[in-house]
Amino acid sequence: MLSENLDTPRPTVLVIDNDASSRKLMGLILQREGFQPVLADSARQALALVESLAEPASLVISDIFLGDTNGMDIVAQLRPRWPDASVLFTSGFTEATLQDRGWRLDAPFIEKPICIKRLRGVLALHRAKLDLVAALH
């Protein structure tokens, strides 16, 4: 659901995906759900964008397999800068296939092609977390 109050801050979400169509789809969904997407096509671009952001991202969505590294490595590099950011991994492989290949994911996972309903559900939970944290401060 698009935020009705356009003056409300839109939490930043960093999307790292080397597949242009997946990146664009996630960006559109994030905008419609009231988030500010920042899109990167590689780990290198993501790290450069991190330096230019005024506020830390509240969520990082990363493909597992990127051309220049993998999603788990880039998230590990971002952790010191954004320790409170939530993480969501994506991949064209199923979670079972990833586990069979030795990958142990330490964050939620959505298989590609992206199921819009599932992504919206994850974003709703993320928004609820942000609202709870704000209410406690």
Distance CA(48)–CA(44), nearest Å, equals 6
pLDDT over 60 at 5, yes or no: no
**Of 68, 101, 102, 70, nearest to 87 (Cα)?**
70
Mean pLDDT value of segment 90-97: 94
Query: Which pLDDT does position 137 carry in this prediction?
Result: 86
Q: Which domains does the chain have, with CATH numbers?
A: 12-136 (3.40.50.2300)
Helix (H, G, I), strand (E, B) or coil at 55: coil
Residue 3 has pLDDT above 80, yes or no: no
Per-residue model confidence (pLDDT) at position 6: 56
The closest alpha carbon to 22, from 70, 90, 68, belongs to: 90
Whole-angstrom distance, CA of residue 127 vs CA of residue 133: 10
Specify the pLDDT at position 12.
97
pTM for the complete prediction? 0.92
Pairing verdict, β 86-91 and 59-63: parallel
More confident residue, 6 or 13: 13
